[in-house]
Amino acid sequence: MVWVWRLWPLWLALVVGLGAYRAGYRQADTAARLAAATQQAAWQAQRLAAEEAYAAKLAEAAAEKQRWYDFAQVQSSKLAETTRRLDAQAAQIKKEIADAVHGDAQNGGDCRPGLGPDSLHLYQRALGY
């Protein structure tokens, strides 16, 4: 056992070397963990930014869709009103045509059906002349 005590400088160097190795390993491990955490935080920030941009585009598209839907609703109601008005006007004109032809036949008797003065006046008024 004496030889162990004689080699104490070698044992001391070995212990110091192992301690230095362990300290270096811990420092490298800490630096690697820090770098990984930094990279992960950067990726998380990029993903969050991409999600926010996507959400903004999605909201913009939804607003555009709603504008077009509102426009279509207005146009649809205008079309329905115009169709209703034109149908009522066509029904009124048909009734007036029958009355005008009947009146022409009673007044003149010498005219063809639909070609009397009242009928022609009604046709001109219906066509906007």
The pLDDT tens digits of the residues spanning 55-67 come to 999 999 999 999 9
Residues 60-91 as b or e (16 or more Cβ within 10 Å = b): eeeeeeeeeeeeeeeeeeeeeeeeeeeeeeee
pLDDT of amino acid 6: 80
Most confident of the following: 22-31, 46-55, 113-122 = 46-55
Q: Which residues contact 114 (CB under 8 A, 6 or more apart)?
A: 97, 101, 104
Q: Which range of residues forms the domain containing residue 15? A: 2-127
Residues 8 and 10: their CA atoms lie apart, in Å, by: 5
34 or 93, greater pLDDT: 34
Residues 68 and 60: their CA atoms lie apart, in Å, by: 12
Tokens 């044992």: give the residue.
11
Q: Into how many domains does the chain fold?
A: 1
Q: Give percent of the chain above pLDDT 90.
A: 52
